[in-house]
Amino acid sequence: MSPSSARQRGPVVTVSSNKGGVGKTTVATNLAIYTRAIREDLPVLLVGLDDQGTIDRMFALRDLRPADGNLKHAWAERSLASSAQLGQYGVHFVPSPPDVALLKARAGDPRTLARILEQTDWQGLVILDTKSDLEALTQNAYHAADRILIPIADWSSLEEAEKIIALLERTGVGAARARIVFTLVDRRSRVGGAEGPTLFGRLRDEVRRRGWAYYTTALSRSPRVETLNSANRTPLSILHHAKGTEVHAQFRELTLEVLGDLGISDRLDLAPTRDEDDDEDEVWGAPARDRGGRAIGGAVRWVARWRR
Ligand SMILES: Nc1ncnc2c1ncn2[C@@H]1O[C@H](COP(=O)(O)OP(=O)(O)OP(=O)(O)O)[C@@H](O)[C@H]1O
Ligand SMILES: [Mg+2]
């Protein structure tokens, strides 16, 4: 690996909306799982910037112990490497901090998380799930991101998206990184009676009118997903527990769209490994380390066409 590519970090996707309950965590967690399924050689690291603990419950392979690192330790160490642990479905995650108030106080510089990720040198995709606010931690997630996925489920989340887009422009991140994802879509909901346009059609027209980039795959409201998320202490993967449903097909399509947008192919590149000094493609292969210095991560060499 050439010295320049040795510091090359993987792409970062942030999921954010100032509106609560629009499907941020469902998108972030399932995007991680589908990415692992589609590109099994691509390590995925999921980080939740809230203290709801959903990611811990969904991914932890065992009860978390006080000795486990969490985001608070990672923030202090300026690296996620020793806090990240391998979880369910082959997804790595950083355990949630006990409360985010402390962390927020240390996130005044919006570029802190971007620097932490650079320092972490994660050899794969990073997905950041945020709280429903536009505060310091969320702004850190914007500055670190290559793509900012903004779920829109209804008119008020569309108005909230406007605030994010304005904030991205104001803070110099730029709205070009933002992508709308339509979530909780109910194609039967109509505006103004049975003959009126669907609510989804209305929202999509408005997003187009405002010139915002959006992913074409919309995620349906599904009682099955609601059950998977809410019926147990541990939310369950759509991929593993809702095969054959519409929303399963949609998550697969959405993941392909996101990966394509990041320039990551949906196929394993089985081309022979390049020469050491051939820097045409970036090769990410070095695994991250756990707190004991042991290798974590896929450790499989993969060739990405993605560039910053
Ligand atoms: N496609 C779907 N179909 C039906 N219910 C869904 C779907 N996606 C998410 N939900 C449900 O909507 C609720 C909110 O989802 P989720 O927790 O992903 O949203 P969020 O934006 O992360 O919320 P918060 O603002 O609290 O972090 C949950 O009860 C979840 O089960
Ligand atoms: Mg959430």
CB of 53 closer than 6 A to ligand 1?
no
| pLDDT single digits (tens) 215-246 | 999 999 999 999 999 998 999 999 999 999 99
Cα–Cα distance measured from residue 64 to residue 81, given in angstroms and rounded to the nearest whole number: 17
Dihedral angle over CA of 127, 130, 135, 138, nearest 10: 10
Give me ligand 1 centre to Cα 31, in Å. 14
Q: Which ligand is nearest the CA of 248, by number?
A: 1
- In 3D space, the residue among 295, 260, 247, 240 whose CA is nearest the CA of residue 85 turns out to be 295
Is residue 213 very low, low, confident or very high in pLDDT (cuts 50, 70, 90)?
very high
Residue 179 has pLDDT above 70, yes or no: yes
Is residue 197 very low, low, confident or very high in pLDDT (cuts 50, 70, 90)?
confident
DSSP secondary structure letter of residue 11: P
Sheet strands (E) in the chain: 12-15, 44-48, 85-86, 92-94, 125-129, 147-152, 178-182, 282-284, 288-289, 295-296, 302-304
Listed as own residue / partner, the contacts of 96-99 with beta carbons closer than 8 Å and 24 or more positions apart are: 96/48, 96/50, 96/51, 96/52, 96/53, 96/55, 96/56, 96/70, 96/71, 97/51, 97/70, 97/71, 97/72, 98/51, 98/70, 98/72, 99/51
pTM over 0.75: yes
Mean confidence (pLDDT) of the chain:
87
Is 14:134 a contact under the CB 8 Å cutoff? no
Mutate to test the pocket of ligand 1, among 26, 27, 164 (most ligand atoms within 8 A of CB): 26
Q: Which ligand is nearest the CA of 242, by number?
A: 1
Backbone angles phi, psi at 233, to 5 degrees: -65, -35
User: May I ask the CATH architecture of the domain 18-304?
Assistant: 3-Layer(aba) Sandwich (3.40)
Q: Whose CA is nearest to atom 30 of ligand 1?
A: 226
Q: List the structure tokens of 42.
A: 């691509």
Mutate to test the pocket of ligand 1, among 19, 25, 186 (most ligand atoms within 8 A of CB): 25
**For ligand 1, what atom is nearest to the CA of residue 21?**
23
Q: Rg of the chain over CA atoms, in angstroms?
A: 19
CB of 221 closer than 6 A to ligand 1?
yes
Q: Whose CA is nearest to atom 9 of ligand 1?
A: 23
